[in-house]
Amino acid sequence: MKTESHLEKVLVSGNLAVTSECGPPRGCLPDHVREKGGYLRGVVDAINVTDNQTAMVRMSSLAASVLLKQEGLNPLYQMVTRDRNRLAMQADIIGAYSLGIDTMLCLSGDHTQFGDHPMAANVHDLDSIQLIQMVKAMRDEGKFQGGADIKGPPKMFIGAAANPFADPFELRVLRLAKKVAAGADFIQTQCIFNVDKFEKWMEQVRRRGLHKQVYILAGVTPMKSVGAARYMKNKVPGMDVPQDLVDRMGSVPKEKQPEEGITICIETIDRLKKIEGIAGFHIMAIDWEEKVKEIVDRAGLLPRPQV
Amino acid sequence: MITAERKPLEELIEYVRPFKRILLVGCNECVTVCSAGGRKEVGLLASGLKMALLQSGTTIEIREHTLERQCDPEYIDELLPMIDGVDAVMSMACGCGVQEVARRYKDKPVFPALNTKFMGASERQGVWAERCQGCGNCLLGMTGGICPIARCSKRLMNGPCGGSVTGKCEISKDVDCAWQLIWDRLKALGLEDQYLKIIPAKDWRPAGGGGPRKIIREDLAA
Amino acid sequence: MMENFEPVIVAFCCHYCAYTAADMAGSQRLEYSPNVKIIRVPCSGKVDAIHIIKAFEKGADGVYVAGCLDGDCHFKNGNNRASRRVEYVQKYLDEIGIGSERLEMVKMSAGMGYLFAQIAIDMTEKIRKLGPSPVRPLAMQASQPIAC
Amino acid sequence: MVEIQNMNGVQGHNKVLVIGGGLGGIRTALDLAEAEKDVILVDKAYAIGGLMTQLDRTFPTNNCDLCTLSPNLSESGRKQHIELLTMTSVKGVRGDKGNFTVSLETAPRYINLDKCTACGECHKHFPECVRFTPGLDHRAPTCMRYPQAIPQSFSVDLEKCSDINALIKVCPAGAISPDDIGRKFEIQCGSIVLSAGAALFDPSGLDYLGYSVEPDVVTNLEYERIMSASGPTMGQLVRPSNGKQPKKVAWIQCVGSRGLQKGAASYCSSACCMIALKEAIVTKERFQDDIETTIFYMDMRTFGKDYELYLERAKNKHGVRLIRSRPHSILRDDNQDGLRLSYTTDDTSEMKNEDFDMVVLSTGFKIADDVRELSLKMGLTLNPSGFAVTEEFSPVETSRPGIYVCGMMESPKDIPETMAQASAAACMAGKDLKVSLKDPDGDLPPERDVTDEALRIGVFICDCGENIGGVLDVLEIAEYSKSLPNVVVAEPQGHGCSRQSIEQIQKSIVENGLNRVVIGGCSPRTHEAKFQEAIRKAGLNKYLVEIANIRDQATWVHAHLPEKATRKAKDLMRMAVGAVAESHPLKDHSLPINKDVLVVGGGVTGMTTALRLADQGFKVYIAEKTNSLGGMAKNIHTTLSGSEVRPFVDNLIEQTKAHANIQVITRAIIVDHSGMPGMFKTGMQVGPQMFYRTIQHGVTILATGALANRPKQYLLGESEAVGTQLETDTLLADNPETVKSWDNVVMIQCVGSRIPENPNCSRICCQAAIKNALQIRKLNPETRIFVLYRDMRTYGFQEEYYLEARKQGVIFVRYSLDHLPQVQAVGKQVEVTFTDPILGRAITVTADRLCLSTGLIADEDSTEDLARIFKLPRTQDGFFLEDHVKLRPVDLPVPGFYVAGTAHSPKTIRESVTQAQAVASRAQLLLARDAINLGAAVARVDSTKCAACLICVRACPFDVPFINADGYSEIDPAKCHGCGLCASECPAKAIQLMQFEDDRIVAKLEQLFERMVA
């Protein structure tokens, strides 16, 4: 065990881990965070708290993580390299750890062009891999990037993202390898709809033995409607939604579509469970946190192990 | 070369409105090559300014002159015989030229006519694209000769983000994914392994993080 | 002012098509507005943005560049480059405040005398409706009055 | 003269004698001379020019002839290959082809041509004995035959001279030589072209037309002279009887033609309908509603290229009245001012009367007695009317080998056809002469260095007759020009392009030390080269001239706004003066020429052209679209005169295939083209595999033919009884038994022609109908044939066959567009219903055969592609559009391109052959040269400004600029096409296109706006 992280404990125990996410509100609404976290209590092993998701200003992920922690939940603190330079990031990391946050996800973040501050500078003092390296060095060597010793290093369980569906496809596994080499302990993948393609990716992951070096949590998302399916298929870069799923969503009446989406999500989890090297699931139910419990339950993943 | 584009006329009009006589100075280097500030653009801008100002009843005299280079003091000296007769100078050079003219002629207001954009290359006639950000510590040896700093929207140094789709960047279909280009080229060169090396966090001091940069060739420096 | 307004229009005509069409209009005695003054160029692609801008600066109320039909340029693609240049200069004219509608690109074949005449008439009427170029009266103050 | 032995030994006398200095003779002589062949041009008049010099304007452009012809005349005056012998007649011809000896006799002129400056002093003081040929012989004199006469000289009639010594004294040049006795001499030549022209029918004998008694009855030529600016009334249209302007003018057609009157010719004179239309249009143009114009005609024969449009213009735009009729008499009532014209129309038997102020008789052409005599003396076979009989499929070859004819001598025709035939005659007469090269610029004076001179601009304003002078005051323009900066001379110059004016301009350049010249005149497109040459001969660099096109751009298009035209002309002059001040001496560039020829199309026209050029030693490629030679002629069996077509075509194919210099490429589709005259490159896909090959060649000849029209009309393609004339021709040849079985045949003319969708006349259909009608009658004299027509257009000698058909009982019934014939299928036959205009009721004929005269249409697909690839203009109906419809009928506007045959317009085989030979001649003008002049309009780089940005390298459509070893853009002037794209895109303004420099263009803009017009 590298850290005190609950997620690490679940993973080390050999159970399939379950995580989900909670987008902080665009305002000073702590109750909103608490409410969302409430839906996930006892349902997941860690709750991702996004960092200015889609390049829109939100309550800081650090603050929201702390709010969840105060509720006794296990926040998974996300950090993007887009908004801060390495000084700010290191400061936040030791600050977060000081407030009891021990699990984090290192990302580069969406380009500002997609958000509501397209005029903002994209900092990218570091990229996500360099961030992983830095967090690992802070934890394992107890050193700031500048070389100085950290008095009381942050013992972070380090996560990274992987998108098996983006291009160039053959680089996707290599990039994962780089993240592992940089020090990632676990991986959360982009939403998986195209299980066939994901299997191919996993095959390469296994060939390189990466599944033995890192815990891979497969990302899933329940679709609310055929419109949402189409949007993700056509508009979200790096998202792969097969046409037959869109058709399937469209084949049922509008009021039944949310139910169909959840069913598809559960079926996907069932297929993913069979793939060697999958250590758990990351359920991204965007603004639909109340349904996570149902999904986890129907997928046979309840109750969550006590470790 | 350094690329630039003419500023909106509206902005330039306001710069020169208070003056009776100005000197419009072009540069026969980079900005000529990118059709932003050569002799021809000087002529076009002079006419345009005169006509725009005429409509609000202002007549302005614009003298036109194009220097070989606006970033070298000797060339800038060429303006000396003209400078006294004018109230202000508008430079059609990159930011370097504007500053150098201003430095040389301290008692004349100097205005930029161009927005200096980037160091780039001609992709084809009339199209210039960014190639270098002058980061001061070239990575191209590791990235197949394609710069991720200048050409990846996120300046990612270790591979493409999840937004790379069919070779294009997530920010626009018109922007190539630099990492796709890098990867294709590494593959073509049989240098795939190069990719697996993690490029460590960058030292931005040579890129300007260390303050205004200067190169001194001691053997040459006077 | 408007009733007596006689616009001055400069037509840059390529030698091989538009200028020949103008000659054709002549030999067919097709009457058109005397307001249009032709400047002959070898190819419409020869018409520099500066020539167009200078025409307005000197006092033109309208300018058009007349080249060969698409695909018929004697010099392969000069007419298309001229079209793109005209579009570029139109934007600049909007910036200057003269207005892009005072500049046009037209294309015709050498045999289209009637089209040459028609365009001359249409352009004159269009510019007449637009009124004098906003820089023209001022240009006149600067120099001497202009007759058409 | 050194005699050069010909290559194949046929001729020993290496020059051509051209008899007759009319338009045809001049064209023949010029073609030969420009192809570097020596010519002797003789004319019995004392100035060349012929009939055309007396015309006011010519159709269909309505240009003044003088300004289109006079450059040709002065050309012929200066040509070193041409020896001009005026006042000279041919007395006899001995010898054979290649070895003729011709006896000539020159009448005394009593004026030394070398000394005479044509100052006119002699004529001023002794008008009675200094000769002129008046346009209106019995009415009013002109001082010279025409103002631009060549040679520029008078002649003296000694018999009428009372005081010769006084006459001698009056001549400041000492040119008068009363001792001149003329001379008789012999010359030798290899071939002879007889282009003696035609005379006009004299209507004096026709008392019912009143010509000899009524001064207001004039011939069409006299009317031309009255309208002409150089005519007796100085261009004032007035009635000869009282000097007042007429209000109503009538034209009577076919006077002396079509066997209508006593002594009239049996043929149609071919051109009179167009002449009358032209005279009426010009009258309406000048006087609008002040004069009413009416043409009395039988058939309106506007069969030439786009002539039908001209007819429509006369009717619809100008309101010329056209009355189909037969005039009966012209009488003047004693108490009346006007002339009463009585006539009948074909829809009523009643005689109608109408009064006119002037009546113009459209007199036909005939062969003059002396010409007939000469022809016989030369041993030529003549037809009963005195025209030379020529080969059916080689219209300029007479019965005597080595002697060729062109123009009216062959048959009555208009100017374009004369020009084509003249070139054809040049081709045939010159084909065996050896090419001897001479330096055309050998005798030019050295160029004056004007670089350090202060500007001295000379301005010369043409009045161009009525064309400019009729709308504005040329003197006013000259005065105005004089006020412009740097102008030291400004004066009117009449016809500026006339030899006389050119000489005055040259004199002025020398005397006034001019170093820049501005011409206020017509289009630089047509006349720039001429004035460039003129100033070059006066010692100036030829690029120091600017032409203000005050004709095409002011007087022609603002004729009704003379004040505005004047102001615009001043603007244009000011712009030109401003621009010429910015001009600089330039040097021409040249390149060696590729002498191979590409002929597109392997029909009769293409093969004929190819053979003529191949015989001259040029390598010829024939690119034929189909898989065999022969073209449309393969489907035609006989001609109107009964000649067999097939043996002719087979023979042509055989010769073509066998010729060592001809390469035939079948199944060739032209796909791309580049280069310039003398160095073209054309790509084609060839053969069933469509493999790509390119051919390098110097000239391109389009002989792509036309298509037989097959409009879906009158059950064509639906009923077996209905077919085209072409199909009928085949039936006649292949199934005479079927034809014999026909009892009733109906022919409908103008099917698919002369209608709004295809307004032109197909030209060949009337003769085709007559041909088939006569053939059918030959097989079965009992067959009843009805020809339903709108106008029978059997021009020239075709008229005789038309008369024959009528005589044989073929029934001709006119129909109009309002009452089209109706056709219905009845079993295997068809019922044709039409209105008889005389009976005024419908008639139905049950016909065994309905022949539709469908004519020819342009091959829209191929002409469109070729026009696009070669960048050639076409007429609205898809035929290639020649450079000058009048004077250059087979030259295309793009230099190095020529057109012949039905790709030009519908025509008969004989006419196609004429054009094919003409093209062979025209092409040789270019091929005779060793280098092509690329002009001086090339882009030039100022390396001190060049930023080596590559923008020019990328902009150039021809990939000419490159960055040289010094790091600057370099443009090879020999490769530069002169478009100026690089100059307009250069961001450093380092490139200037010579002749169109920025300074010059901006100077025009400045001048246009900066100064006030008085």
Closest-approach residue (CA) in chain B for C60: B51
* C97 inside domain: yes
Give yes or no on whether D108-179 and D199-366 have one common fold: no
Q: How many whole angstroms from its chain centre is CA D150?
A: 20
Set of chain B residues whose Cβ sits within 8 Å of the Cβ of A109: 154
CB-based contact A178 B198, cutoff 8 Å = yes
Q: Catalogue all structural domains in chain B, each as residue range(s) with its CATH number.
A: 2-117 (3.40.50.2300), 135-207 (no CATH)
Using CA atoms, how far residue D137 sits from A151, D155, D357, D989, in Å, is 128, 17, 22, 64
Q: State both tokens at B188.
A: 């073509």
Domain harbouring C62, CATH code: 3.40.50.960
Give the H or E element holding residue D250.
strand D248-255
The dihedral built from the CA positions of residue D530, D535, D541 and D545, taken in this order, carries a sign that is negative
Query: Which residues are A80's β-sheet partners?
Result: A107
Whether residues D567 and C47 touch (CB distance < 8 A) is answered with: no
More confident residue, B11 or D69: B11
Task: Return the CATH fold of D457-584.
Answer: Rossmann fold (3.40.50)
Please report which helix (H) or strand (E) contains residue D490, including its range. strand D487-492
Q: What does the alpha-carbon distance between residue D272 and residue D252 come to, in Å, rounded to a whole number?
A: 10
How many CB atoms lie under 10 A from the CB of residue D504?
A: 16
Which CATH superfamily hosts domain D710-854?
FAD/NAD(P)-binding domain (3.50.50.60)
Q: DSSP state, D503?
A: H
**pLDDT beyond 50 at A254:** yes
In a domain? residue C140: no
Please give the full DSSP string across B123-192, using - where no structure is assigned: EETTEEEEEE---SS--TTTTTT--HHHHSTT--SSS--TT-BTTEETTEEEEE-HHHHHHHHHHHTT-H
Chain C: give the shortest CA distance to residue D1008, in Å.
8
**Which residues on adjacent β-strands are paired with residue B24?**
B64, B90
> Which residue, chain included where needed, has tokens 């390189």?
A208
Shortest CB distance from B51 goes to which of C49, C50, C56?
Answer: C56
> Residue A202 and residue A279: Cα distance in Å, rounded?
12
Give the span between the Cα atoms of D250 and D252, in whole angstroms.
Answer: 7
**CA dist list (Å): D783 to D811, D831, D848:** 11, 16, 10
CB D252 within 8 A of CB D354: no
CA distance D1000 to chain B (A): 16
- Inform me whether the C-beta atom of residue C131 falls under 8 Å from chain D C-beta atoms: no
pLDDT tens for D193-211 read 999 888 889 998 888 888 9
Cβ-Cβ contacts under 8 Å, D947 against chain B: 28-29, 32-33, 38
The answer to the question of residue C83 being in a domain is yes
Mean of pLDDT over chain D: 87
Are the C-beta atoms of residues D458 and D517 closer than 8 Å to each other?
Answer: yes
Residue spans of the domains in chain D: they are 13-106+182-197+368-434, 108-179, 199-366, 457-584, 597-707+858-927, 710-854, 938-993
**How far is Cα of residue B90 from the mean position of the Cα atoms in its chain?**
17
- Which among A3, A69, A75, A71 is positioned nearest to A44, based on CA atoms? A75
How long is chain D? 1014
Torsion of CA C129, C134, C135, C138, to 10 degrees: 100
The pLDDT tens digits of the residues spanning D877-909 come to: 899 998 888 778 899 988 899 999 999 999 999
pLDDT above 70 covers what percent of chain D? 90
For D438-459, give the DSSP string: --TTTTPPPPP--TTSPP-EEE
Question: Which pTM value belongs to this model?
Answer: 0.68
The fold of D199-366 is FAD/NAD(P)-binding domain (3.50.50)
CB atoms < 10 A from the CB of C66, how many? 29
Tell which B residues from 76 to 95 touch A, by Cβ distance under 8 Å.
none
- CATH no., domain D13-106+182-197+368-434: 3.50.50.60
Domain A6-298: assigned CATH number: 3.20.20.220
pLDDT digits (tens, 9 = 90+) for B37-74: 999 999 999 999 999 999 988 999 999 999 999 999 99
Chain A environment of B161 (Cβ under 8 Å): 108, 128, 163, 166, 238
Cβ contacts (< 8 Å) between B2 and chain D: which residues? none
- Give residues 83 to 102 of B whose Cβ lies within 8 Å of C: none
- Angstrom distance (rounded) from CA D361 to CA D257: 11
CB-CB contact of D521 with D547 (8 Å)? yes
Residue D694 has pLDDT above 50, yes or no: yes
pLDDT in tens, D432-480: 676 554 445 556 889 999 989 999 999 999 988 778 998 999 999 999 9
Q: What is the pLDDT of residue D12?
A: 43
Kindly state whether residue C51 falls inside one of the protein's structural domains. yes
Does some domain include residue C141?
no
How much is the average pLDDT of D614-634?
A: 94
Chain segment D359-406, per-residue pLDDT in tens: 999 999 999 999 999 999 999 999 999 999 999 899 999 999 999 999
DSSP string, chain A: --S--HHHHHHHTTPPEEEEEEPPPSSS-HHHHHHHHHHTTTT-SEEEE-SSGGG---S-HHHHHHHHHHTT--EEEEEESSS--HHHHHHHHHHHHHTT--EEEEE----GGGSS-TTS----SS-HHHHHHHHHIIIII-B-TTSPBPSS---PEEEEEE-TTSSSHHHHHHHHHHHHHHT-SEEEEEE---HHHHHHHHHHHHHTTGGGTSEEEEEE-----HHHHHHHHHHSTT----HHHHHHHHTS-GGGHHHHHHHHHHHHHHHHHTSTTEEEEEE--TT-GGGHHHHHHHTT--SPP--
Tell me the two tokens of residue D726.
């072409």
Pick the CATH number of D938-993 from 3.60.21.10, 3.40.1190.20, 3.40.50.2300, 3.30.70.20: 3.30.70.20
At least 3 CB pairs under 8 A between chains A and D? no
D neighbours by CB contacts (3+ pairs under 8 Å)? B, C
Integer Cα distance of D948 and D946 in angstroms: 5
Tell me the average pLDDT of chain B: 95
> Angle, nearest 10°, between helix axes A61-70 and A30-39?
60
Looking at residue D608, what is its pLDDT? 96
Higher pLDDT, D345 or C35: C35
pLDDT beyond 80 at A170: yes
User: Measured between alpha carbons, how far is B161 from A160 in angstroms, rounded to an integer?
Assistant: 12
Binned at pLDDT 50, 70 and 90, residue D153 comes out as low
| B201 touches A: beta carbon within 8 Å | yes
Residue C109 Cα, gap to closest chain B Cα (Å): 28
Q: Report the half-sphere exposure of B34 (CA within 13 A, side-chain side).
A: 26
In whole angstroms, give the CA distance from residue D607 to residue D903.
Answer: 14
Distance from CA of D280 to the nearest CA of C (A): 15
Domain D108-179, second-level architecture: 2-Layer Sandwich (3.30)
Give dist(CA D969, CA B32) in Å, integer.
Answer: 14
Q: Report how far residue D266's alpha carbon sits from residue D269's, in angstroms, rounded to the nearest whole number.
A: 9
Domain ranges of chain A: 6-298
Inter-axis angle of helices D23-34 and D415-430, to 10 degrees?
40
Partners of residue C19 in chain D, C-beta under 8 Å: 523, 525
User: Which amino acid type is present at position A16?
Assistant: L
Q: In the CATH scheme, what is the homologous superfamily, with its name and number, of domain D597-707+858-927? A: FAD/NAD(P)-binding domain (3.50.50.60)
Number of domains in chain C: 1
pLDDT recorded at residue D441? 54
Rounded mean pLDDT, D546-566: 94
Range of the domain at C33: 9-134
Distances (CA, A) of B155 to A72, A108, A126, A166: 38, 10, 9, 18
Given a cut of 50, is residue D830 above it in pLDDT?
Answer: yes
